[in-house]
Amino acid sequence: MRKLLINSSALATVAGLTLSASVVLADVSIKATSELSYFSRESLITTSKGDWTAQASEIIFNFSNKTDSGLTVGYTAELTSNAAAVAIDESFITITGGFGKFVLGESDDAADSYAVAAGDVIAEETYSGSPDSATVGTSADMLLNNDNAKIAYHIPAMGGFKAGVSFEDGSASATASTETDTTSYGASYGMEMDGTAIIIGMGSTSQETAAAASPNLESKNYGVKIVRGNISAAFAKGTYDALDEDRSMEGIGASYNMQNGFILGAYKTSASDADDPLESYDNMGFEVQYTIATGLTAVVNYENFDYDAGTSDETTSDDGNLTKVTIKAAF
């Protein structure tokens, strides 16, 4: 991360202006990541087989200023680039004080800050499956999350306890039946026992649907992460409910830092949809992460997946494997 302190004199010089009044500007920090991945997938579905590459990059700008009253006011903008487009992914204001923290603008739902996923101990969350599978989850993480404009509040940490809530007014018009408001909340508790760090987290997000006859979309997550020495492990359970959807997902992940630049990892996910009997998804993968140099990492993933469409008439059964090689740079 590069930290910059921008002052009024420097800006005045660049702009060719003379400032007669004192101007207080924020501390600025900039960090960036970029990665290139190569994928090779075997599948029973012809259109799913093949090799391809994908690139993703992100630059995060953080501005922070302390007011005379003791408040810390910040602004964050995340610029992302992938195969689809270059865009501002998140852009929000933070106001922090003894009361906690408010987040105003385009940011993740509050539940995302507290939910625990099995992939939290894995460098690359691949979880590959059939692209035709649209009615079963492929990970136990929160399945509802967006970066739309919203208001969030996070309470001050009380010991190891943290919690927060967010609300998004998703009205498309003044007509009540078109509202798609989203409410999200989460909490976590961290503790240490005999050198073992334990974090227990949960998150819940509910989104109204525009059609009055359709039930709300609901996504929940419960999980625990344990870190002891060089070993990290996480277990998570997730659910997702919607019209004709009653999904349940469980995931487990573990990693071991060998202290020689290598980190070994393994993960497994199982999922089903009660509204489509016998529909299921299973995934098991392994990961090798190697630090080439400071800020430069190579990650290799291999996983097998098995999707059974069961009685669902919307999808096609599939199984296969995927190999992924990623080079990651952080600045």
* DSSP calls for 216-277: PEEEEEEEEEEEETTEEEEEEEEEEEETTEEEEEEEEEEEEE-SSSEEEEEEEEEEEETTST
d(CA 153, CA 155): 7
In percent, the amount of the chain with pLDDT more than 70 equals 84
Which is more confident, 315 or 205? 205
What would the two tokens of residue 80 be? Answer: 């992302």
Query: Given this model, what pLDDT does residue 132 score?
Result: 54
Residue 7 — pLDDT band, cuts 50, 70, 90?
very low
Condensed to tens digits (0 to 9), the pLDDT of residues 271-312 reads: 998 888 888 899 999 999 999 999 999 999 999 999 888 776
What is the 8-class DSSP label of residue 118?
G
pLDDT classification of 173: cutoffs 50, 70, 90 = low
pLDDT over 70 (residue 145): yes
Nearest to 100 by CA among 166, 163, 168, 27: 163
Residue 9 — φ and ψ, nearest 5°? -65, -40
What is the residue extent of each domain of the chain?
2-330
The residue with greater pLDDT, 6 or 261, is: 261
User: Strand pairing of 72-81 and 86-97?
Assistant: antiparallel
Instruction: Report d(CA 268, CA 276) in Å as an integer.
Output: 22
Answer yes or no: is pLDDT of 90 > 50: yes
Residue 8 has pLDDT above 50, yes or no: no
Cβ proximity of 90 and 106 under 8 Å: yes
Length of the chain: 331
Segment 3-29 mean pLDDT: 49
pLDDT of the residue at 75: 96
Record the tokens describing residue 259, joined without a space. 């202290």
Name the burial class of residue 186, with classes exposed (0-12), middle (13-18) and buried (19+) by CB atoms within 10 angstroms of its CB: buried
What does the pLDDT read at residue 10? 41
- Separation between Cα atoms, residue 93 and residue 91, nearest integer Å: 7
Mean pLDDT of the chain: 86
Residue 2: half-sphere exposure toward Cβ, Cα within 13 Å: 11
The neighbouring-strand residues paired with 299 are: 289, 326
Percent of the residues in the chain that have a pLDDT greater than 90, as a whole number: 62
CB 286 within 8 A of CB 268: no
- pLDDT per residue as tens digits for the range 210-258: 766 678 899 999 999 999 999 999 999 999 998 888 999 999 999 999 9
Burial annotation 240-268 (CB, 10 A radius, 16+ → b, else e): bbbeebebbbbbbbbbbeeeeeebebbbe
CATH no. for 2-330: 2.40.160.10
Burial of 227 (0-12, 13-18, 19+ CB in 10 A): middle
